[in-house]
Every structure is written in C-alpha cells, then in structure tokens.
Amino acid sequence: MSIARKESVVRAAIEAYFAALATGDEEAWLTRHADDAVSFNPVWGPPTESLADLRRFFRGIRSAFERLSIQPDLISEAPDGAAVKWTGRAFGRNGRQVTFEGVDVFDVDDEGRIRTVWSYWDPAEVARSLGN
C-alpha cells in the first residue's frame, strides 16, 4: 500500500473514531478497533485488551457526563498511525462544565482499524473542575 493511501486510511479511521465518540455511537466506535486492540488511558488504569474492555470503557466515559464532546484539533499522520491533539468539553450531571485537552497516539492497521491507542490527558483535573 502506498504511503499516501495508507495515510488516507489512517485519517478516515481517526475521523470515524472521534465522530462516533462525539455522537455516543458505541458500535461505530467499537468497529474502529481491531479485535485485539489495546488502549492505554489514564482514566482506566491497566490497558484495555479486549473489545469487552473497550465497551466497558466507552460506557463508563459516556455515563460519567451529561454531555461529552471531544474534537480533534490537529491530526499528524504517519503511514501506520497518527498523533491527535484534541479538545474536550464535558458537562457534568451537576450542571458544571469543563474544557480540557489531550493527545492520543494511534497505531492503525491496513484495514483502518485501530490496533493501539495511547491517551494522554489529566482525568483528575476534569473531576476537580466538575466538582466530583
């Protein structure tokens, strides 16, 4: 696969991942991942190493907020993945809101499925800002 073709597959995977997260579409989000995907996220603790773990993670994140929006600000692509700087906006169940930022680093296979994602952000700051 050419580098340009691979990068377009990577971009499509990343855009679909964030779109599904923004709309709360659990199944669309899960299908963006390879069956053996691994996710490292500071809110979860140990890495998620199965689609069942990813499903629990997605539901946990979505249920923690009244509304949640995470939008990519910058996608820096490479042939096998991307680094994404993003901005999140969360509305707590108590009416408070917070804006926060982070970076996700993705490894994507030739079919456009996420093999690995490393997330870097501060969930403790989000919880403090929301009064949790």
Q: What CATH number has the domain bearing residue 53?
A: 3.10.450.50
Average the pLDDT over 59-80 and give the result: 90
- Residue 65 pLDDT more than 80? yes
91/118: higher pLDDT: 118
Phi, psi of 116 (to 5 degrees): -145, 140
In this structure, the chain runs to a length of 132
- Rounded distance between C-alpha atoms, residue 16 and residue 112, angstroms: 10
* Residue 105, pLDDT above cutoff 90: yes
What pLDDT does 64 receive? 82
User: Band of the pLDDT at 3, cuts 50, 70, 90?
Assistant: low
> What is the number of domains present in the chain?
1
Cα-based distances in Å from 77 to 2, 63, 101: 14, 31, 19
> 120 pLDDT band (50/70/90 cuts)?
very high
Between 79 and 83, whose confidence is greater? 83
How far apart (Å, rounded) are the C-alpha atoms in residues 4 and 15? 16
Domain extent for 14: 3-130
